[in-house]
């Protein structure tokens, strides 16, 4: 899914989003809430920064 030339935060975000989708498919509300907090705290700033640089 990720290419070697991508930055570590980008690879981390892609992995996190893939895991997020898998967890939502499993319908585990507690895990989903925890992942949502991680997503909001760590992945969203990377996505915003990446969009600004594109």
Inter-residue long-range contacts of 16-25, CB under 8 Å, 24+ positions, other chains counted:
16/42, 16/43, 17/43
Answer whether 0.75 is exceeded by the pTM.
Answer: no
Identify the pLDDT of residue 5: 58
Residue 24's pLDDT is what? Answer: 53
CA end-to-end span of the chain: 19
- Quote the pLDDT of residue 41: 72
| Domain assignment of residue 2, yes or no | no
Quote the pLDDT of residue 40: 73
Would you say residue 4 lies in a domain?
A: no
Number of domains into which the chain is organized: 1
Is the residue at 13 inside a domain? yes
6, burial (CB in 10 Å: exposed 0-12, middle 13-18, buried 19+): middle
| Per-residue pLDDT tens digits for 6-43 | 566 666 666 666 665 655 555 555 566 666 777 677 76
Domain region containing 19: 9-49
Say if 54 falls within a structural domain: no
């Amino acid at each position: 899914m990720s290419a070697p030339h991508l930055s570590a935060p980008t690879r981390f975000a892609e992995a996190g989003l893939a895991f997020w989708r898998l967890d939502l498919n499993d319908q585990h509300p507690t895990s989903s809430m925890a992942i949502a907090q991680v997503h909001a705290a760590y992945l969203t700033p990377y996505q915003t920064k990446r969009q600004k640089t594109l």
